[in-house]
Structure 1
Amino acid sequence: MGIVSRDIEIFGRKIHIETGKMARQADAAVQVTCEGTSVLATAVASDDVRMIDFLPLTVDVEEKLYAAGKIPGSFFRREGRPTDMATLTARIIDRTIRPNFDKEFRNEVQVVITVLSTDQMNPPDMLGMLGAACALGISNIPFHGPLAGVRVGNVDGNWVINPTFQEMAESTMNIVVAGNPECLLMVEAGAGEVPEQKIIEGLEVGHRAIKELIEAIVAVDRDNRLENGERPKDEILGEISAFLEPRYEKAVAGLLDALRKDDDEAAAQARDAYARVALEAAGEFPNQYRKVINNLARVLGDRTMRARISELIEPEVEEAMSRVLLDASVPGLSKSERSLMRKDSRRSLSEPFKERYHGLEGYVSDAMNGLERKLLRKQILQHNLRPDGRKPFQIRKLSTEVGLLPKTHGTGLFTRGETQVLAIATLGAYGEKQILDDLGVEEYKRFMHHYNFPPFSTGEARPMRGPKRREIGHGALAERSLIPLIPAEDEFPYTIRLVSEVLASNGSSSMGSICASSMALMDAGVPLKDGSHVGGIAMGLVLEDGKYVILSDIQGLEDSAGDMDFKVAGSREGITALQMDIKCSGLSSAMLSDALEQARQGRSFIIKAMSEAIPEPRAEVSPNAPRMLQLEIPVDRIGDLIGPGGKNIRGLIEKYDVEIDVENDGRVFVFGRDAAKTMQVEKEIQAITHDPEIGDRFMGTVVKTTTFGAFVELAPGKDGLVHISKLSRQRIDRVEDVVNVGDRIEVEVAEVDNLGRINLRVIDLKPPASE
């Protein structure tokens, strides 16, 4: 196997692609490098077909801390479960490549992205996407490429492709876009309340860059095959398909004819002929194509069987199914009622065909599901009638409420139709921020959003095993939607955690979590930017023969039957996040513009309903939240505050039941439940970190008595002396006649000598004990 490489320059950034050097046992392996960041992408498909009804595709992103010269911080000093960053990258790649496999493909496919090196400047995620697309493209795995993906940023009004970490921090937009030469397939974006047209412009810039990357992928595939004496992938797949398809057509036609005639002997012969097709192909083509044949055989055999059965069934049941779908679209029915009507219809209509085509019941069910999808689309396109009776632009009934739970810091309950989300906001101390141990440049997060989707939300019973990839992805989408309106750290130094509990779901629960979270933040007293809400809405699209209908606030059935799942979040001022998955080609800029405008109108309607529950953030943080105090001390006095071995700061924390966080720049954050204690801590910190001046007053503690006076602790590590003559209005012989160790007295600084010794006087002079 020879080594093949190619360099490409995108917007002034050089990318090196190489294959044939590493991981030679994989179906394909590609190393992609940009300056000091390098990733290895591998693709492998299994020989055996799995008897399941979905594509068993797995995308894994392996973040190796050695790539950044780090040793993992875990007890065993090795990487553990994937970080959220790795999971989100895997989801983006999965969403991009999954639709480009044949829906009948059932061989297990695993794509692994391993980060080998990172310069902490160039993010590895887009290199991983390029590597995955390239590996699948140069392999013989049946995959409809080529495709590619890029990140688009906008810094100082200029578009940047695959920006560095620093450029991303300065960018007003962070758009990840993937597609093929003809159209976009996937979009994941965050933005700082930007107008819709600016998003469209960014997508167009990204698509131009994608086309350049695809040219490089095609060139690498061509050079690799020339180097290794292989024929073009399309040629190989085309020849094998040309051999398989007519044989499957003949075998399927014979089997269906025999089953219709109830000829068991002929049916058995036809089944044998169907099973022998792949074996005949294996004998016809060189052994090196055995895996390709196995991969294609299930795809083409299933596709042929499904198509022929659909042709036989549809004319007989289309009218009856149309009537049921029309009856199920009557407004007022619940999700379960509609689902039961459709399910009963499919079951009753399919029973005669399952008896007729025994052994092929799964294909009959597939044909029924396909017909139902086709009729639902027809109902929307021709009559503007959706499965629940709404018009395309209509949003389901909304209900909003805040302040539901007595001891939490902030709550928001958002209900949209049969989707309901409860969000809870918790305000924590500055030091409770999440420490990040990944390959990113950020060291911590002070704003977190977690999304939970328990099985009861869809009426199911299944084990709960912690957050899955989908939950992590939806949580990140809501977090990205809200971040632009979260106050800056120096303005509001609390750590903020949001948890969205999906209580019921019939589509668009991720957007419901954004709405509920916005209300919970306001209820907790978080001063969101301009006092604005963030709302979210899921849009859909049905497109056929150039005619299209855009749907607002889609449900689960419309998502599966439609051509686009398009989630848009933002304030009244503009878009803050966007997520799009497209299942069709031909999505034009005009369609996208129409969808964004309809989403803007829907978002405004939703925000209005949210404002009825809480129009602006509460004037003060929740009484259940900790009180926060921020002050600054001289940097050279940080050690005084901390004390030897942390003695001083630990003493304050224990004494006043507070949390104290000290930053290297001298900022000090104090969090406590009791406002009075928090204020007292401030006085003690000031006393510790500032040199006492004449006239300063302190409430101190007597720590030692002598024959000549009492030593009073003004602050941890800082004492002053009250001479015996200044303890009482009258002359006294013993200090203990007036004060004893442990007494609290108010004192004033009378003198600070040139050695820094502090002399004090008592504010309220006491008479001797004998009086």
Structure 2
Amino acid sequence: MSFVREVTVGDKLIRLEFQKFAKLANGSVMVSCGDTQVLVTVCASDEPKEGQDFFPLTVDYLEKFYAAGRIPGGFFKREAKPTERESLNSRVIDRPLRPSFPEDYMNETQIIATVMSYEPAHHPAPLALLGASAALMISDIPFNGPVASLRMGMKDGKLILDPPLLETTDLDLTVACRPDAILMVEAGANFLSEDQMLDAITTAHQWMKPLFDVQYEIQKAIGKPKREVPKKTFDANLFEEVLAASKAPIAACFEIGDKLERNKALKAASKQVISALNPDGDDKRKAQIKLILEDVKYKMMREQILGEKKRIGGRGFKDVRNITCEPRVLKRPHGSAMFQRGETQAVATVTLGAGDDELRIDSIHSGDERKAFLLHYNFPPFSTGEAKPQRGLSRREMGHGALAERAIAQILPDKSKFGYTIRLVSDVLESNGSSSMATVCAGTMALLDAGVPIVEPVAGIAMGLIKEGDRYAVLSDILGDEDHLGDMDFKVCGGENGITALQMDIKIGGLSKEIMREALAQAREGRRHILGKMKSAIAEPKELSQFAPRIFQLKIPSDRIRDLIGPGGKMVKKIVADTGVKIDIQDDGMVNIVSPDVLSAEAAKSLIRSVTSDPDVGGIYLGTVKKIMDFGAFIEIKPGTEGLCHISELEEGRVAKVTDVLKEGDECLVKVLDIDRQGKIKLSRRAALGKKPTTQG
């Protein structure tokens, strides 16, 4: 018999059903809200692999098309590899759960969240994370939960719980927490202040209390005893020997600012210590020394920051590394820029395209969704000085690209004013701390170089926090080592006075709102410093590149769109063939004409106006004879629009037979004499003799 609990958060009723589905898993639950249902399962191996030194956690979030009553597109008509949206949601589940397992737990663990029923009003990703935590809580897998997640929006300054996915709001915020700690934040925002963002995060945490309470209740009722996790211990004497031998050389390494030189020195120091303390080459002792060295490096770097107030390379807590900005570093792309901060370098390019260059996405959320702004982030192995095979796009690259895309999307012009499809690509050429934030900076400058009329420039900065007891330090523009060894890292993007994107991962509990407020304020200071450097390189949009296509816009009545398209697209295809342009027709009647030159665009505009406008009484048209009758000729003056030229209106004087003057297929000038209430058009050829056409038919 199934075990069911229900919990209400805001106006949403969430149902958790256990012991009914996937009962062979270590833990499973069906989480429902409205008609959205997500099945979450957790499984773990009985024993860790021999020599395992990292936690092998796998999280897969899957969306089934049947959940929305749809059949997948494509030839095979089945779900293929995970989409980018699924991969990003997998990361959102993974990031808060990973630090919630015991540090010494090394068993292979897999979490699979499957969306089996989908209602647009209830987003499945927060339900999936809740389900993963609840399934872990009742399983025998060691887990320091519970964890919960909420998605928040903001409209007119008021917070909204889980707004519809396609609804535009000033905030799209996902927060994951434990009862005593905020674990993860993902946000896109419309230039919100630091205080607004912080209030939204803390409010979300407060609203989660019922989700924590119900998980404790469920665990008490049906939870299994947890497995014992053997603690890794160091030999106390060996630890003191390693500390004494390594303290001075490691401290000297932390004085080196250059990443490659520092890593080289650290490796040499480690080899020296291992050789001195393990002369017999004992493998187990060597492994112990390596683990101790990592612990020594961790503690020494943190104490150097908190005790000596000194960072790696000697920087101050608020210091941002040297910045170099350069637009138009590449000749043929429509826009390009290079942004260098310390040993992190990104080159961004912008390509402008037509409406048919938009990305089409087949998803359960919106059917055939279209995206006119694409940001692609690439992280090749040479950016870190490594040689390793490239196995396609990683989840990390997707996540970094999505963060930069959220930051920049807020500054793009409205499609009705700038009708291009925009593809921004960031190639990370060097990496030592926050290449995603370098992508935001380089991307903003590349947009300006391409002539995109952005709302205002945005920049990004990566921040860190080191905290021990009451001592703490907020670090601006962190290095990779400071990220790895810190207690919180967060990335803030925005303009002079507002945030457009935020990503935060917190590894410790009990972090006060005041510390977070201080960290966000310091991030704003650093962001403004970076913006100043960017603006000194390029402050305003340049003219469009000579290699970029030109877009000309024309508005037609929406009820005439069918006339422009024509049967089976015949009319619009003819205009494209005759003029050599591309035509993109919007639902509101806005027509974007993508043309290599002005003359072709003007020719296309003339034809479009001719097709979509009503004939004018008194207008002179070049028409085509479609049908001959005894009493006159039917002449097409516009595509799909015909009028009658009576035999008496063919020429001056009497005409015996219509065929004496016109034949089917002939072109002739005619004047519109009248249009009656039924829309019948009266034409005259003789009134147009010697005249010039006022409109091309």
Both structures adopt the same fold (TM-score exceeding 0.5): yes
Query: 1:568 corresponds to which residue?
Result: 492
Query: 1:209 corresponds to which residue?
Result: 207
CA distance in 2, matches of 1:509, 1:720: 66
Query: 1:418 corresponds to which residue?
Result: 343
Query: 2:12 corresponds to which residue?
Result: 13
Residues 592-630 of structure 1: per-residue CA shift (max 9 Å, x gap): 111111100110011111111221223x54333222233
TM-aligned CA distance change 1:424 to 1:749, over 3 Å: farther
2:53 paired with 1:53: yes
Q: What aligned pairs does 1:304-703 form with structure 2 within 5 A after superposition?
A: 304=233, 306=234, 308=236, 311-329=239-257, 334-355=258-279, 358-360=282-284, 361-441=286-366, 443-529=369-455, 532-618=456-542, 620-696=543-619
TM-aligned CA distance change 1:510 to 1:701, over 3 Å: farther
TM-aligned CA distance change 1:131 to 1:637, over 3 Å: same
Q: Which structure 1 residue ranges, 5 or more long, are not aligned? A: 238-291, 730-734, 767-771
Given that 1:178 and 1:210 are in contact with CA atoms closer than 8 Å, whether structure 2 keeps it comes out as no
Percent identical residues: 41
**SS at structure 2 position matched to 1:501:** strand
Q: 1:429 is aligned with what amino acid?
A: A
CA distance in 1, matches of 2:34, 2:475: 44
TM-aligned CA distance change 1:136 to 1:743, over 3 Å: same
Q: What aligned pairs does 1:137-156 form with structure 2 within 5 A after superposition?
A: 137-156=137-156
Residues 314-361 of structure 1: per-residue CA shift (max 9 Å, x gap): 4422442344235425xxxx2211211121111112212233571222
Given that 1:180 and 1:211 are in contact with CA atoms closer than 8 Å, whether structure 2 keeps it comes out as no
Deviation at 1:216, TM superposition (A): 0.8
CA distance in 1, matches of 2:96, 2:506: 9
TM-aligned CA distance change 1:628 to 1:323, over 3 Å: closer
Q: 1:23 is aligned with what amino acid?
A: A
Given that 1:409 and 1:427 are in contact with CA atoms closer than 8 Å, whether structure 2 keeps it comes out as yes
Residues 192-219 of structure 1: per-residue CA shift (max 9 Å, x gap): 1011011111111111123321111111
Query: 1:23 corresponds to which residue?
Result: 22
Deviation at 1:707, TM superposition (A): 14
Given that 1:458 and 1:505 are in contact with CA atoms closer than 8 Å, whether structure 2 keeps it comes out as yes
CA distance in 1, matches of 2:651, 2:263: 89
CA distance in 2, matches of 1:673, 1:316: 71
CA distance in 2, matches of 1:161, 1:40: 22
CA distance in 1, matches of 2:402, 2:689: 59
CA distance in 1, matches of 2:599, 2:578: 13
CA distance in 2, matches of 1:89, 1:175: 13
Q: What aligned pairs does 1:257-276 form with structure 2 within 5 A after superposition?
A: none
Deviation at 1:89, TM superposition (A): 0.9
Deviation at 1:34, TM superposition (A): 0.6
Q: What aligned pairs does 1:728-747 form with structure 2 within 5 A after superposition?
A: none
Q: 1:335 is aligned with what amino acid?
A: K
Query: 1:175 corresponds to which residue?
Result: 173
**SS at structure 2 position matched to 1:165:** coil
2:28 paired with 1:36: no
Q: 1:491 is aligned with what amino acid?
A: K
Deviation at 1:91, TM superposition (A): 0.2
Query: 1:184 corresponds to which residue?
Result: 182
Deviation at 1:39, TM superposition (A): 0.4
Q: 2:374 is aligned with what amino acid?
A: M
**SS at structure 1 position matched to 2:91:** helix
Given that 2:465 and 2:473 are in contact with CA atoms closer than 8 Å, whether structure 1 keeps it comes out as yes
**SS at structure 2 position matched to 1:383:** coil
TM-aligned CA distance change 1:194 to 1:702, over 3 Å: same
Given that 2:176 and 2:182 are in contact with CA atoms closer than 8 Å, whether structure 1 keeps it comes out as yes
**SS at structure 2 position matched to 1:328:** coil
CA distance in 2, matches of 1:419, 1:710: 75
Query: 2:655 corresponds to which residue?
Result: none
Residues 466-517 of structure 1: per-residue CA shift (max 9 Å, x gap): 2111111111101111122222232323222211111111111000001111
**SS at structure 2 position matched to 1:465:** coil
**SS at structure 1 position matched to 2:453:** coil
Given that 2:251 and 2:300 are in contact with CA atoms closer than 8 Å, whether structure 1 keeps it comes out as no
CA distance in 2, matches of 1:395, 1:740: 81
Given that 2:27 and 2:139 are in contact with CA atoms closer than 8 Å, whether structure 1 keeps it comes out as yes
Residues 349-401 of structure 1: per-residue CA shift (max 9 Å, x gap): 22122335712222211211221121111111122221122111111111112
Given that 2:250 and 2:269 are in contact with CA atoms closer than 8 Å, whether structure 1 keeps it comes out as no
Q: 1:503 is aligned with what amino acid?
A: L
Deviation at 1:456, TM superposition (A): 1.5
Q: 1:381 is aligned with what amino acid?
A: L
CA distance in 1, matches of 2:238, 2:296: 8
Residues 386-438 of structure 1: per-residue CA shift (max 9 Å, x gap): 11221111111111121233332211211111111111112222233222212
CA distance in 2, matches of 1:577, 1:765: 59
Q: What aligned pairs does 1:85-234 form with structure 2 within 5 A after superposition?
A: 85-165=85-165, 169-225=167-223, 230=224, 233=225
Query: 1:289 corresponds to which residue?
Result: none
Deviation at 1:764, TM superposition (A): 6.4
Counting matched residue pairs gives 685
Given that 1:695 and 1:748 are in contact with CA atoms closer than 8 Å, whether structure 2 keeps it comes out as no
